[in-house]
C-alpha cells in the first residue's frame, strides 16, 4: 500500500498483514498490543500455555516481571562472568587444536553448554548431549506446521518437549527435597521469585518459561557468535581495532585474563561491533501475532482473525536509516542513534526479549577472549 510499511498476503493458509515501517511496528507493539493482539505462533502445545510468549494482558505483565527479575539480577550477571569465561577459553583452545572448524556447529555446542550452566547449573556431558539432541528436535517443531501426526517434525518436537520437561521437573523436585543445595542460577531465581501478593510461580509456569529461556538464550547467541566470526574474518581492520581495545583493557587490569561486568563499560568499540552484528544477523526477524479485533492504523482496517507479522529486520537494512546498509561498519554507531522503531534486534514494545542483556554479555566475553588470544 504505497510507502506505508503495510502490505497484505496469504501465508500457510491464513490471510496475513505484514507491517515493516518503524511507525507501523511501533503502533502495533504499543498499547494496542495488549488489547487487540493475541499469540498466533508458535503453538502453545510446544511453548506451554504459561510461557511468557503465549500469555496475554495482566498475566503477561506478571510473568514478565518474574522472568526479568530472574535473569537480570546484578549478582546473576556478575556470576555469569565468572562461570562462563572458563567455558569460552576451553572451547577456543579446542577449536585451535582442531585447525579447521565448522563455526555454526561449534557455536551451537558452546552456547548450549553455557546456557544450561547458567540456567540450571547442569555440567554433565551425557545429560547435556541428550538435552541438546532434544532441543534441536524441539526447535525444528517450532518452525513446522502444527500437525501432530507420527513422522512429522511437530510430533517429534512434542516428544522432545516431554523429555526435556521430565529432566527439568526432576531437577525442580530434587531442589525442593534438598533445600541445602545452594544452587545459584536462573532456575533457582525463578523458583524463589515472589509476586506482589506473596505468591510463587506454579511448577507449570516455571517449566514453560525455562524452556522458553533456553530458546531465547541458545538460538540468538549461537547465531550471533557464528556471524561475528564471519564478519571478523571478512573485515580484518575491525578485528584489529577490536584487538587493540581489548588488549588495552587487559593491560589496565594488570594482565588479569578474566573480564568483569564492570569492564564492559570501557568496551565502547566492542559494543559497536555487537550492535552491528545484531543489526545484520539478528535471529528475531519478525514478531507473529493474531488480531483479536479490528484495528485501525492510519485509515487501514486490519480485520479481526487475520494473522499479523511485525517485520523488524527490514529496517535494519534500509538505506533510509543506515548508509550502505549491507556493509559491516561498527563506526556507523558513532553517529546519532537510529530513530525509535528502526533498530529492534530483540523485539520491541511489551514483547522485548527479557534475556537481551544476557545475550549481549555473552558476546562481550566471546569477543574479548577470541580477539586477544586467537
Q: Are strands 307-311 and 14-19 parallel, antiparallel or unpaired?
A: parallel
The Cα–Cα gap between 354 and 357 comes to: 8
Q: How far is residue 151 from each of residues 154, 155, 158, 251, measured CA to CA in Å? A: 9, 7, 12, 56
Task: Extract the C-alpha cell encoding 21.
Answer: 515501517
Give the residue extent of every domain in the chain. 39-284+353-373
Q: List the one residue out of 98, 110, 130 whose CA is nearest residue 226.
A: 110
pLDDT at 50: 93
The Cα–Cα gap between 310 and 20 comes to: 6
pLDDT at 4: 87
Total residues found in the chain within this entry: 374
Q: List the one residue out of 163, 299, 328 whose CA is nearest residue 232.
A: 328
134 has binding-site annotation: no
Residues 6 or more apart in contact with residue 177 via CB below 8 angstroms? none
Place of cell 479490528: 294
**CATH number belonging to domain 39-284+353-373:** 1.10.630.10
Could you tell me the mean pLDDT of each successive run of 10 residues in the chain, 374 residues long? 88 92 91 82 90 89 90 88 93 94 94 94 92 94 91 96 96 88 87 86 95 87 95 97 96 89 95 96 86 93 95 93 96 90 87 87 96 91
Q: Are strands 300-302 and 295-297 parallel, antiparallel or unpaired?
A: antiparallel
Q: Within its chain, how far is the Cα of 236 from the centroid?
A: 27
- β-partners of residue 194 are 200
The string of DSSP codes covering 200-234 is: BPPHHHHHHHHHHHHHHHHHHHHHHHHHHHHHHHH
The Cα–Cα gap between 145 and 91 comes to: 36
Q: In 72-151, which residue ranges form alpha helices assigned H by DSSP?
A: 74-98, 103-120, 125-142
Amino acid at each position: 500500500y504505497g510507502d506505508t510499511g503495510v502490505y497484505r498476503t496469504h501465508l500457510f493458509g491464513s490471510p496475513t498483514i505484514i507491517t515493516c515501517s518503524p511507525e507501523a511496528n511501533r503502533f502495533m507493539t504499543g498499547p494496542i498490543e495488549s488489547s487487540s493482539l493475541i499469540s498466533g505462533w508458535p503453538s502453545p502445545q510446544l511453548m506451554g500455555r504459561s510461557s511468557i510468549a503465549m500469555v496475554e494482558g495482566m498475566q503477561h505483565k506478571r510473568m514478565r516481571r518474574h522472568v526479568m527479575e530472574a535473569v537480570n539480577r546484578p549478582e546473576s550477571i556478575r556470576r555469569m562472568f565468572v562461570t562462563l569465561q572458563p567455558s569460552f577459553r576451553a572451547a577456543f583452545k579446542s577449536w585451535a587444536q582442531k585447525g579447521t572448524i565448522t563455526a555454526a556447529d561449534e557455536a551451537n555446542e558452546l552456547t548450549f553448554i553455557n546456557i544450561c550452566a547458567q540456567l540450571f547449573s547442569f555440567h554433565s556431558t551425557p545429560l547435556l548431549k541428550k538435552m541438546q539432541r532434544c532441543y534441536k528436535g524441539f526447535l525444528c517443531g517450532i518452525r513446522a506446521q502444527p500437525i501432530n501426526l507420527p513422522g512429522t517434525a511437530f510430533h517429534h518436537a512434542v516428544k522432545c518437549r516431554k523429555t526435556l520437561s521430565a529432566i527439568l521437573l526432576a531437577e525442580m523436585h530434587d531442589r525442593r527435597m534438598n533445600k541445602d543445595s545452594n544452587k545459584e542460577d536462573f532456575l533457582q531465581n525463578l523458583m524463589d521469585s515472589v509476586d506482589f501478593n506473596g505468591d510463587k510461580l506454579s511448577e507449570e509456569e516455571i517449566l514453560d518459561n525455562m524452556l522458553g529461556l533456553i530458546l531465547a538464550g541458545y538460538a540468538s547467541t549461537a547465531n550471533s557468535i557464528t556471524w561475528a566470526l564471519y564478519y571478523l574474518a571478512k573485515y580484518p581492520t575491525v578485528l584489529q581495532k577490536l584487538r587493540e581495545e581489548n588488549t588495552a583493557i587487559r593491560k589496565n587490569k594488570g594482565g588479569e585474563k578474566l573480564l568483569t561486568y564492570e569492564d564492559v563499560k570501557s568496551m565502547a568499540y566492542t559494543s559497536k561491533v555487537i550492535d552491528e552484528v545484531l543489526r545484520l544477523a539478528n535471529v528475531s526477524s519478525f514478531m507473529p501475532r493474531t488480531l483479536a479485533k479490528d484495528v485501525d492504523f492510519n485509515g487501514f482496517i486490519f480485520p479481526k482473525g487475520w494473522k499479523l507479522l511485525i517485520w523488524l529486520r527490514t529496517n535494519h537494512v534500509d538505506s533510509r536509516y543506515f548508509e550502505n546498509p549491507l556493509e559491516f561498519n561498527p563506526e556507523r554507531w558513532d553517529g546519532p542513534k537510529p530513530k525509535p522503531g528502526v533498530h529492534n534486534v530483540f523485539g520491541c514494545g511489551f514483547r522485548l526479549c527479557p534475556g537481551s542483556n544476557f545475550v549481549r554479555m555473552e558476546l562481550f566475553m566471546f569477543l574479548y577472549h577470541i580477539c586477544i588470544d586467537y
